[in-house]
Amino acid sequence: MKFIDLIPNICEGFPFNRGNFVLLNFWGDNKDLEILDLFAENLSKKGIVPMKHHCSNRFFEKTVLSLIRKEQGFPEEYFCFLSSFEYVVDIFMYPPKLPEGISKEEIPDFQKYLGELFNSLTENKKYYIQLNVPTEINAAKAGMDYEIFNSSMCNALNINYQELKKTCKEKVESLKGMKGIEIITGNKYVLKLDIESRNWFIDDGCGDFPSGEVYIAPIENCSFGELIVPLVKLKGKSFTDVILTFEGGKLINTSSQEINDFFKALPEQFKILCEFGIGLNPNIKEITGYTLFDEKALGTYHIGLGMNHFFGGENNCPFHMDFVFKCNKVVFSE
């Protein structure tokens, strides 16, 4: 199964309607442009109007860097135009990186450009969608063997999106009115969350691909208890059966000293329990340690630390980290 053959089906999962003006932002080189063109072509067949914006390594090295060296930069109108789109699909062949040949002195200006570009693509959107193409570079970033990464991604994307949308909608309907969540893992670890007055959100093709989850932002200072997570990957290392302890909505301790040291160095708002999610994609068969897959797998649950102001929470910070697990029992209370 090839990713490129799945593009028509992926476009079926997008939440856009006839007449929508959609920005396709593409992080890839010229040799990869067939992928961008196929997304544009398949959207146009549905009456959706695509606008292509190409962020290649050559563009950064030869254009952005040249303007930085001329002390000119990009005008405000450039970022205002990108900000004007309500619908954005961010397609990554590889993650953004510093251009070849950039000097130490030029890095702050380039990072400022990337920051303004990111803000113009993500802020105040009706839909901001991210899609990581299964490339060797993205597999390496995920810490996975390429063949496994490619197979897992393609299987997860090769789903009936109409059925997935129905499943996600039914799950949210069943959870309306619930005020609390009690999570039991390892038969003895209990974590309690308060979700009163918070709304559930659905990712059935309108968030990070692969799709398939419903999620909510718990009250930020009302999470208490312990949770055991079977696999945590951090800085290239894997940790098994990690116990997380929460008090007053914040992570206060883990069973791993290395993970403790990592969070000890972070600001307090990075430690806030910000999300609870339920995986609903039946085409993801196993936990890999890569949360982009794992959190969508049918039968899994996850919590997140850090940012949640994009989905009904109050914690605005530049950090979000998920922990995926399976439960002995999850109890929702009214």
Strand partners, 132: 92
Q: Are 202 and 325 within one domain?
A: yes
Q: Are 121 and 174 within one domain?
A: no
To the nearest 10 degrees (0 to 180), the angle between helices 3-13 and 161-175 is 40
Q: How many domains does the chain have?
A: 2
Within a domain: residue 289?
yes
Q: Are 293 and 256 within one domain?
A: yes
**Alpha-helical runs (H) found in the chain:** 3-13, 33-44, 57-58, 65-69, 76-83, 107-122, 136-142, 146-157, 161-175, 257-264, 291-294
Within a domain: residue 313?
yes
Q: Residue 171: give the domain boundaries.
A: 162-333
Q: Are 70 and 168 within one domain?
A: no
Q: Are 108 and 182 within one domain?
A: no
Checking DSSP bridges between strand 21-27 and strand 49-54, what pairing results, if any?
parallel
Average pLDDT across each block of 10 residues of the chain; the chain has 334 residues. List them in order.
96 96 97 97 98 96 93 91 98 95 94 95 94 96 92 96 97 96 96 96 95 97 96 90 97 97 96 97 87 93 94 93 93 94
pTM: 0.90
Q: Are 189 and 264 within one domain?
A: yes
CA–CA distance, 256 with 239 (Å, rounded to integer): 8
Q: What is the pLDDT of residue 290?
A: 87
Within a domain: residue 82?
yes
Residue 103: how many CB atoms within 10 A of its CB?
10
Within a domain: residue 104?
yes
Q: Are 99 and 166 within one domain?
A: no
Q: What is the pLDDT of residue 118?
A: 94
CA–CA distance, 223 with 192 (Å, rounded to integer): 6
250: enclosing H helix or E strand: strand 250-254
Q: What is the pLDDT of residue 113?
A: 95
Report the CATH number at residue 51: 3.40.1830.10
Q: What is the pLDDT of residue 285?
A: 81
Q: Are 170 and 58 within one domain?
A: no
Q: Are 107 and 27 within one domain?
A: yes
